[in-house]
Amino acid sequence: MELNRIHHLNFLENTLPDKCVQLIIADPPYFEVKGKFDFIWKSFDDYLKDVEKWAIECKRLLADNGTLLWYGHAKKIAYAQVIIDRYFNLENNLVWNKTDCQTIKGIKDYHCFAPVTERILMYSNEIDMRYINKMYYTPSLFKSVIDKLNKNITDRQQAFDLLRKDGRYSSEQSLKTQTKYKFGWGSRFDMMDEKIYNLCKQELKFEFSYEEIKNEFDLIVRNHLSKGRFFKNTLYTDVLCFSQEAHITRKYNHDTVKPETLSRVLIKTCSRPNDLILVPFAGSGTECAMSIKEGRNFIGFDIEKKYVDMGNKRVKSVTEQPSMFQIAS
């Protein structure tokens, strides 16, 4: 299927291969909230049956190290979450606090706290923190480092005696366990710190400086983690405070246009450049256009021809924008 295009097709009918996308941003109908597309089900149960179909197809398409983001209404997302939880690992129940939400103007008329938020469920797939933790329980990953540490050991008792001199272990059992970890003799490998390394260096005739051996270890870790789920965040919490950007969204004839800034943050935080992003409910095309703007690829779907045309036109306008290099030259 053609990439960087919104297809006029029910996303359940796609012909994409298994595990081909790194990020899915799903903004499905919320059920009887806003827009004609929200009122096509006879009952909430029927709607939830479709939620499960969508979740199953997302499961098929998402790479093991991928991320799923699923928008929902504050009062109804819990029902969808119960279903999606069966297929993915919940990482966050994000709150989008709409900082300029107009409902705040009628706050005195509510008999509840003014609703100014939406939810975004964030899921990992097969690879999550267990993947990272498992790394240290796979000593073979660090074979090159372990071989260097063990090269000149003739008797393991040497290592036990040296770490005993360090004095940080409270019992003989703890000493033996930690020594095994630090030399990769068992089911786990822990990189020793500089103090222990220097304590052992002369007697065990280590041929490398601590900096050299630590850099090798760190490189192995980085290469391994690069295969894991990408997530890079230094600023945001699970409460995302973003404007609805009415000055932009009003340009598009769609009932539930998502803001560009929020979409760009989600894309940059949860994917790498050139990753493939799936947008199963493309709508006005915000996520699709912002994927291009952030240097990602996307594939989108929508069952309404007018929205497909709108979204592709929006994507084209971003694609045709000159790069900063072109502007500068």
Domain limits, the chain = 5-127+231-328, 132-225
Decide if pLDDT at 325 tops 90: no
- Of 10-24, 239-253, 288-302, which gets the smallest average pLDDT? 239-253
- Of 132-136, 141-145, 318-322, which gets the smallest average pLDDT? 132-136
Decide if pLDDT at 329 tops 50: no
Q: What is the pLDDT of residue 274?
A: 96
88 neighbors 126 (Cβ within 8 angstroms) = no
- Of 17-21, 23-27, 49-53, 122-126, which gets the smallest average pLDDT? 122-126
Contacts with 219 (C-beta within 8 Å, 6 or more apart), sequence order: none
Q: What is the mean pLDDT of residues 170-198?
A: 93
Decide if pLDDT at 37 tops 80: no
- Reduced to 3 states (helix: H, G, I; strand: E, B; else coil), residue 196 is helix
Q: What is the pLDDT of residue 106?
A: 77
Neighbouring CB atoms inside 10 A of 298's CB total 27
The single residue listed with the structure tokens 């932009």 is 248
Q: Sorting pLDDT into bands at 50, 70 and 90, what band is 328?
A: very low
Q: What is the mean pLDDT of residues 123-136?
A: 70
Phi, psi (deg, nearest 5) at residue 113: -65, 140
Q: What is the pLDDT of residue 240?
A: 96
In tens, the pLDDT along 73-105 reads: 998 999 999 999 999 999 999 999 999 888 777
Whole-angstrom distance between the N-terminal and C-terminal Cα of the chain? 35
Structure tokens at 13: 């009918």
- Of 65-74, 130-139, 320-329, which gets the smallest average pLDDT? 320-329
Structure tokens at 75: 């009062």
Decide if pLDDT at 3 tops 80: yes
For the whole model, what pTM was predicted? 0.72
Decide if pLDDT at 326 tops 60: no
Return the higher-pLDDT residue of 326 and 113: 113
Neighbouring CB atoms inside 10 A of 210's CB total 17
Sheet holding 239-242, edge to edge: 5-8, 297-302, 276-279, 21-26, 62-72, 117-124, 89-98, 239-242
Compute the distance between CA of residue 175 and CA of residue 189 in angstroms, rounded to an integer: 15
Question: What CATH number was assigned to the domain covering residues 5-127+231-328?
Answer: 3.40.50.150
In tens, the pLDDT along 259-304 reads: 999 999 999 999 999 999 999 999 999 999 999 999 999 999 999 9
User: What integer best gives the mean pLDDT of the chain?
Assistant: 90
144 neighbors 111 (Cβ within 8 angstroms) = no
Q: Sorting pLDDT into bands at 50, 70 and 90, what band is 133?
A: low
Decide if pLDDT at 225 tops 80: no
Decide if pLDDT at 127 tops 60: no
Compute the distance between CA of residue 52 and CA of residue 60 in angstroms, rounded to an integer: 12
Return the higher-pLDDT residue of 234 and 198: 198
Q: Sorting pLDDT into bands at 50, 70 and 90, what band is 324?
A: very low
Compute the distance between CA of residue 202 and CA of residue 236 in angstroms, rounded to an integer: 47
Q: Sorting pLDDT into bands at 50, 70 and 90, what band is 323?
A: low
278 neighbors 251 (Cβ within 8 angstroms) = no
- Reduced to 3 states (helix: H, G, I; strand: E, B; else coil), residue 18 is coil
Q: Sorting pLDDT into bands at 50, 70 and 90, what band is 131?
A: low
Query: What is the percent of the chain where pLDDT is above 90?
Result: 67
Q: What is the pLDDT of residue 236?
A: 95
Decide if pLDDT at 327 tops 70: no
Neighbouring CB atoms inside 10 A of 292's CB total 19
